[in-house]
């Protein structure tokens, strides 16, 4: 809160590591990593609200469960977060195809779509090759998403 007052909320970015916990009763999202759950802030929705109240100007949701899997973003979590916070949001973890970005934008609306593995690994054997989308592919991502201004 003090940093936001001194530097402005645009300078404060909060990153929340979110992991999906599954059980016989279903699944839920919690703050933590693959081994541990943060016992103080288990609920990522409550943690995101608190971050905004304390002055965060942006929130990055790092889906630990999806990170590096390249099987798509956690769209269910994106649906849960939509409308909870009033600051810019980015999602990290899961992007495997450019169409995954379009799907996320269609579900959430305007947001950041991080995609580390998507740009570094290539092919069935995941050879390392930095590979960014072309201008045409970027337009297709935006064009395939149902995002209203």
Both tokens of 76, joined, read: 């269910």
* Whole-Å CA distances, 105 to 23, 77, 109, 113, 120: 29, 13, 5, 8, 22
Cα gap 78→108, rounded to integer Å: 6
Q: Which of 17, 67, 74, 100 is catalytic?
A: 17
Q: Known catalytic residue: 43?
A: no
CA–CA separation, 63 and 21 (whole Å)? 12
Q: Which residues are part of the catalytic machinery?
A: 17
């Amino acid at each position: 809160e003090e940093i936001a007052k001194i530097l402005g909320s645009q300078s404060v970015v909060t990153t929340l590591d979110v992991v999906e916990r599954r059980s016989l009763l279903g699944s839920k999202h919690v703050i933590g990593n693959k081994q541990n759950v943060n016992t103080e802030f288990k609920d990522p929705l409550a943690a995101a609200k608190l971050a905004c109240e304390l002055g965060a100007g942006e929130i990055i949701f790092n889906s630990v469960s999806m990170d590096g899997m390249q099987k798509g973003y956690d769209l269910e979590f994106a649906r849960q977060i939509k409308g909870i916070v009033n600051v810019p949001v980015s999602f990290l973890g899961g992007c495997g195809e450019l169409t995954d970005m379009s799907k996320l934008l269609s579900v959430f609306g305007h947001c950041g779509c991080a995609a580390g593995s998507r740009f570094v690994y290539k092919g069935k054997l995941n050879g390392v090759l930095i590979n960014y989308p072309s201008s045409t592919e970027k337009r297709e991502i935006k064009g395939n998403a149902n995002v209203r201004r």
